[in-house]
Structure 1
Amino acid sequence: MVTVLALSAALAYGVADFLGGAVTRRSTALRTLSWCVPVGFVIILVSALLAGGGAAPGPIAWGFTAGLAGGAGLIAFYRALARGPMNVVAPVSALAAAVLPVAVGITRGERLDVSVAAGVLLCLVAIALVSMEAGDERSAAATAPGWRRHLDSGPLMAGLSGTCFGVFFVLLKTAGDGSGLWPIVGARVGNVVIVAAALLALALRGGDLGPRLSGRTLIGLALLSGTLDAGANVLYFLAAHKGMLSLAAVLTSLYPAITVLLARVAYTERLRAIQRLGMAIAVAGVALVTVG
Structure 2
Amino acid sequence: MVMVLALGAALAYGVADFLGGAVARKSTVLRALICCVPAGLVVVLVSALFTGGRIGAAPMALGFLGGLSGGTGLIAFYRALARGPMSVVAPVSALAGAVLPVAVGVVGGERLERSVVVGVLLCLVAIGLVSMEAGTGGESGDAAVGGRRRLLDSGPLMAAASGTCFGVFFVVLKEAGDDSGLWPIVGARAGTLTVVAAALLVMALRGRDLGPPVPGRTLLGLALLSGILDTGANVLYFLAAHEGMLSLAAVLTSLYPAITVLLARIAYSERLRTVQRVGLAVAVAGVALVTAG
When normalised by structure 1's length, the TM-score is 0.89
Change (3 A) 1:128 1:209: farther
Q: Distance in 2 between matches of 1:151 and 1:126?
A: 21
Report the equivalent of 1:281.
Answer: 285
1:176-215 aligned within 5 A = 176-215=177-216
> Counterpart of 2:130 in 1: which secondary structure?
coil
For residues 92-122 of structure 1, the C-alpha deviation after alignment (integer angstroms, 9 at most, x for no partner) is 111110011111110011114x4xx636754
| Count of residues in correspondence between the two structures | 283
Distance 1:110 1:102 in 2: 9
Distance in 2 between residues matched to 1:288 and 1:171, nearest whole Å: 25
Q: 70-79 or 151-160: which moved more? A: 151-160
CA distance in 1, matches of 2:233, 2:212: 28
Report what 1:38 is aligned to.
Answer: 38
- CA spacing shift, 1:80–1:176, aligned 2, 3 Å: same
Structure 2: distance between partners of 1:150 and 1:286: 30
Report if aligned partners of 2:69, 2:168 keep a CA contact under 8 Å in 1: yes
The aligned runs of 1:18-57 (5 Å cut-off) are 18-57=18-57
Distance 2:256 2:290 in 1: 13
Amino acid at match of 1:261: L
Q: Which residue of 1 aligns with 2:73?
A: 73
Q: 1:149 offset after TM fit, Å?
A: 1.7
- Structure 1 58/235 Cα, relative in aligned 2: closer, same or farther at 3 Å? same
The question of 1:165 aligning with 2:163 is answered: no
Cα contact 1:98–1:124 (8 A) shared by 2: no
> Which residue in 2 is equivalent to 1:151?
152
The equivalent of 1:103 in structure 2 is 103
Find the aligned partners of 1:134 and 1:148 in 2 and give their Cα distance.
Answer: 16
Tell me how far apart the structure 2 counterparts of residues 167 and 56 of structure 1 sit (CA, whole Å): 21
Q: TM-score, normalised by structure 2?
A: 0.88
Question: Which residue pairs with 2:11 in the alignment?
Answer: 11
Is the 8 Å Cα contact of residues 90 and 256 (structure 1) preserved in structure 2?
A: yes
* Structure 2 SS opposite 1:145: helix
Structure 1 residue 230 and structure 2 residue 231: aligned? yes
Conservation of the 8 A alpha-carbon contact between 2:251 and 2:291 = no
- Alignment of 1:244 with 2:249, yes or no, is no
Note if 1:118 corresponds to 2:115: yes
Q: How does 1:252-267 map to 2 (within 5 A)?
A: 252-267=253-268
Deviates more, 1:193-202 or 1:119-128: 119-128
Q: Tell me, in whole angstroms, the C-alpha distance in 1 between the residues paired with 2:241 and 2:132.
A: 33
* Deviates most, 70-79 or 280-289: 280-289
- The alignment yields a C-alpha RMSD, in angstroms, of 2.5
| Distance in 2 of aligned mates of 1:45 and 1:264 | 34
Cα distance between partner residues in 2 of 1:94 and 1:8: 15
List structure 1 runs of 4+ shifted beyond 6 angstroms. none
Name the counterpart of 1:132.
Answer: 130
Equivalent residues of 2:99, 2:120 under 8 A apart: no
Find the residue that maps to 1:111 and give its secondary structure. Answer: coil
In structure 2, the partner of 1:218 is 219
Residue 270 and residue 211 in structure 1: after superposition, are their counterparts in 2 closer, same or farther (change >3 A)?
same
Displacement of 1:23: 0.7
What is the alpha-carbon distance in structure 1 between the residues aligned to residue 121 and residue 232 of structure 2? 24
Aligned counterparts of 2:284 and 2:38: Cα–Cα separation in 1: 36
Deviation (angstroms), 1:51: 1.1
- Give the letter for the 2:115 counterpart: A
Deviation of residue 134 (structure 1)?
4.4
- Identity, % of aligned positions: 67
Q: Is the 8 A contact 1:30 1:195 kept in 2?
A: yes
Q: Please, which runs of 5 or more residues in structure 1 have no aligned partner? A: none
| Distance in 2, Cα, partners of 1:94 & 1:247 | 14
CA distance in 1, matches of 2:169, 2:3: 19
Contact 2:252 2:291 in 1 (8 A): no
TM-superposition CA deviations, 1:28-51 (whole Å, max 9, x none)? 110000000000001111111111
